[in-house]
């Protein structure tokens, strides 16, 4: 029983000791992490990642190289995770506009550039991110109203120009001589008649009177009398009147 108690006590002391070591390591020395990875303290997150991958290929126990070492790999892995967490926290603090206190982090010799928070919202506004978002939204609404007003002005000007052009065309047409208008009209009529004749020659008219029926054999007309006189004579016979020409 006493031996079991001593074993439990020794385990408890070991746990306490390991916990004490962990709490001691909580005060991380970032310089050592950079030194383990073999990079400069001003390195960014991408440089840290590249250095970590390069060392993993060398020290990983399953790499099969002569430098493979589990202890060294553990040191590299811990240093990498520590620096990545540090970079993530700095980026979060910058986005949230939190100013890093140098007294709380004595290992950091510089604060994160606070101007980065103004890279969003086109650099407009001041105050907290929420206040800047409201200011940016108001400015966008003002720009939208100005754009709508400019569009209405341009549309009104375009409509007015169209009316003026229409009036100008009408006035120009009124100034055209009458003989030119008649020539134009006759030219259009002639063009239409030519198109009709062409369509008839091609057989495109299918709704003409008598289409598909034989030609009339009624030739009771004096060949020496013109067509108009013949029609007038027919009207006289039907109405039993005499038409004086």
Domain boundaries, the chain: 14-118
Q: Is the pLDDT of residue 214 over 60?
A: yes
Token duo for residue 161: 């120009």
Of 32 and 97, which is predicted with more confidence? 32
* Model-wide pTM > 0.75: no
- Range from 24-33, 166-175, 198-207 carrying the lowest mean pLDDT: 166-175
Superfamily (CATH H level) for 14-118? DnaJ domain (1.10.287.110)
**% of the chain surpassing 70 pLDDT:** 56
Residue 29 CA to residue 142 CA, distance in Å, equals 51
């Amino acid at each position: 029983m006493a031996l079991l108690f001593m074993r439990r006590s020794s385990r408890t002391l070991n746990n306490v000791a390991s916990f004490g070591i962990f709490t001691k390591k909580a005060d991380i020395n970032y310089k050592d992490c950079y030194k383990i990875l073999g990079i400069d303290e001003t390195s960014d997150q991408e440089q840290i990642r590249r250095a970590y991958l390069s060392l993993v290929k060398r020290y990983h126990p399953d790499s099969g190289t002569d430098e493979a070492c589990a202890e060294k790999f553990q040191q590299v892995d811990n240093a990498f995770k520590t620096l990545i967490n540090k970079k993530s926290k700095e980026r979060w603090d910058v986005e949230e506009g939190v100013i890093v206190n140098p007294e709380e982090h004595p290992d950091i010799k510089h604060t994160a550039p606070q101007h980065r928070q103004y890279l969003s919202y086109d650099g407009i506004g001041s105050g907290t991110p929420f206040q800047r978002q409201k200011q940016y939204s108001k400015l966008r609404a003002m720009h939208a109203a100005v754009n709508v007003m400019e569009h209405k002005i341009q549309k009104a000007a375009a409509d007015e120009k169209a009316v003026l052009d229409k009036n100008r065309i009408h006035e120009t047409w009124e100034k055209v001589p009458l003989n030119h208008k008649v020539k134009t009209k006759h030219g259009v009529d002639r063009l239409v008649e030519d198109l009709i004749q062409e369509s008839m020659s091609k057989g495109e008219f299918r709704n003409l009177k008598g289409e598909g029926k034989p030609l009339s054999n009624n030739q009771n007309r004096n060949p020496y009398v013109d067509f108009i006189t013949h029609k007038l004579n027919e009207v006289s016979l039907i109405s039993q009147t005499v038409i004086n020409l």
